[in-house]
Homo-oligomer: A and B are copies of this chain.
Amino acid sequence: MSTHHLLPATADTVHWGYFSRVLKPVLSVASGDLVTIEALTHHAYDDHSRMIQGDAGAESVFLWTRDKKNVDRRGAGPADASLYGRGSGEGRGVHICTGPVYVAGAEPGDVLEVRILDIKPRGCANPAYAGRAFGSNAAAWWGFHYNDLLTKPKPREVITIYEIDAAGDRSWARAVYNYRWMPQIDPFGVVHQTIDYPGVPVDHRLVEERHGILKGIRIPVRPHFGVIAVAPSEAEYVDTIPPGYFGGNIDDWRIGKGAVMYCPVAVPGALFSVGDPHASQGDSELCGTAIECSLTGTFQLILRKRETLSGTPLAELCYPLLETPDEWIVHGFSFANYLAELGENAQRDIFARSSLDGAMRDAFRKMRHFLMRTKGLSEDESISLMSVAVDFGVTQVVDGNWGIHGILKKALFE
């Protein structure tokens, strides 16, 4: 007998820009329960009329006037903005995460199995755009391209609004328009020269919308969650941007419907959260973001107790593992556990230590671990098989702790 819970996204059910082992759960579930979770994109204010207006949940989360900011802390930085003066939490971490969900009985050493049963786009609530859904792609200062532009003005940040055809399984995204980011003054009077704080209202009188772009181009959608996480144990406030052993901002488009994510539990109750919904992303997430688009997912959460893992693909799991119907996928990072490896200033230093070479090293080691532990291969067998049959790809080059994934096809094994 499993229960099906509903977890809407409101100012009371989200945490913005940080993971925390000390957060009070917004829901408690038993192993096997289903949970339908609304996830909001933190880029919704790039086009308020298409992604917030008329949507009670989004309006609740994004509400920010001179007198009231419903979700004050945004990021793992100081709550008093004493570091950069950008705002509470300093935008060190940007993703709106729904949760955390407490999983009864979960303890460090266990594994949380997250089955993604369904994903639906969040339809636009503004009657002017009825029946449609929208997302935003920001080519931002943290993108791989930013200091390597050909055309002027340099540098620049550019936001592209996409419309998602929300019908059917085979859906497409098309660009609607784009605009260059112009300095925005937030309701508390802080000027944001760049996209340095999430949820800043964009005043469209200050930007120039360029329509008719990417003509004739349609992008097959790959709805997925950029962030699926359990709470890490290393610090009280952890920036949502760099991924790690706890999952987090992995930004792999394969984390979609029908996939199963396995995360090692680090704190009691696991404290599961979902965020950073994407309509589509390419491997590398080159410019810093995907098509950031609010989605609602239905998940089954299954607790795998440590003592039951021996002899299964979850034995000794110390990294986020993804299973799709046809593949096993390991995720390597510049640092497997940057929080532990980089010391006290890890959350600052990781952004200066990004490396695909390190991520490839980590992905190799994780795939070898998987093949030796769960498929019973010798090291020599594992290494040969990896070279002739495993594909390594660039997950992302924009999240500080850069990612390389390794894909093992199940069909290799009879």
Residues of A in contact with B (beta carbons under 8 Å apart): 137, 139, 143-145, 148-151, 158, 160, 162, 173, 175, 178, 213-214, 216-220, 280-291, 355-357, 360-361, 364-365, 368, 372, 377-381, 383-394, 397, 404, 409, 411-414
- For the complex, what is the distance from the CA of A149 to the CA of B380, rounded to whole Å? 9
Contact of A144 among B173, B364, B388 (CB under 8 A): B364
Shortest distance from the beta carbon of A307 to any chain B beta carbon, whole Å:
25
Interface of A is mostly: mixed
Chain B residues within an 8 Å CB radius of A377 = 214
Shortest distance from the beta carbon of A392 to any chain B beta carbon, whole Å:
4
Chain B residues within an 8 Å CB radius of A378 = 151, 213
Chain B residues within an 8 Å CB radius of A290 = 387-388
- For the complex, what is the distance from the CA of A217 to the CA of B220, rounded to whole Å? 33
Shortest distance from the beta carbon of A249 to any chain B beta carbon, whole Å:
15
- For the complex, what is the distance from the CA of A391 to the CA of B251, rounded to whole Å? 13
Q: Which residue of B lies closest to A217 (CB)?
A: B412
Chain B residues within an 8 Å CB radius of A162 = 388
The answer to whether A284 and B360 have CB atoms under 8 Å apart is: yes
Q: Which residue of B lies closest to A214 (CB)?
A: B381
Chain B residues within an 8 Å CB radius of A414 = 216-218
Q: Which residue of B lies closest to A357 (CB)?
A: B356
Can you list the 7 inter-chain pairs with the closest CB atoms, starting with the nearest?
Answer: A287-B387, A356-B356, A283-B391, A393-B393, A284-B392, A392-B394, A286-B387
Contact of A386 among B282, B356, B409 (CB under 8 A): B282
- For the complex, what is the distance from the CA of A355 to the CA of B378, rounded to whole Å? 29
- For the complex, what is the distance from the CA of A413 to the CA of B281, rounded to whole Å? 17
Shortest distance from the beta carbon of A95 to any chain B beta carbon, whole Å:
17
23 A–B pairs (Cβ distance < 8 Å), ordered by A: A137-B384, A139-B384, A139-B387, A143-B387, A145-B364, A148-B365, A160-B384, A162-B388, A173-B388, A178-B381, A213-B380, A214-B384, A280-B388, A282-B392, A283-B392, A284-B360, A286-B392, A288-B387, A289-B387, A290-B388, A355-B357, A356-B360, A360-B397
Chain B residues within an 8 Å CB radius of A360 = 144, 284, 356, 394, 397
Contact of A384 among B178, B355, B411 (CB under 8 A): B178
The answer to whether B219 and A361 have CB atoms under 8 Å apart is: no
The answer to whether A388 and B137 have CB atoms under 8 Å apart is: yes
Q: Which residue of B lies closest to A375 (CB)?
A: B217
- For the complex, what is the distance from the CA of A307 to the CA of B384, rounded to whole Å? 46
Q: Which residue of B lies closest to A220 (CB)?
A: B411
Shortest distance from the beta carbon of A252 to any chain B beta carbon, whole Å:
11
The answer to whether A386 and B148 have CB atoms under 8 Å apart is: no
Given contacts A283-B393, A393-B392, A393-B394, contact A379 B149 (CB under 8 A): yes
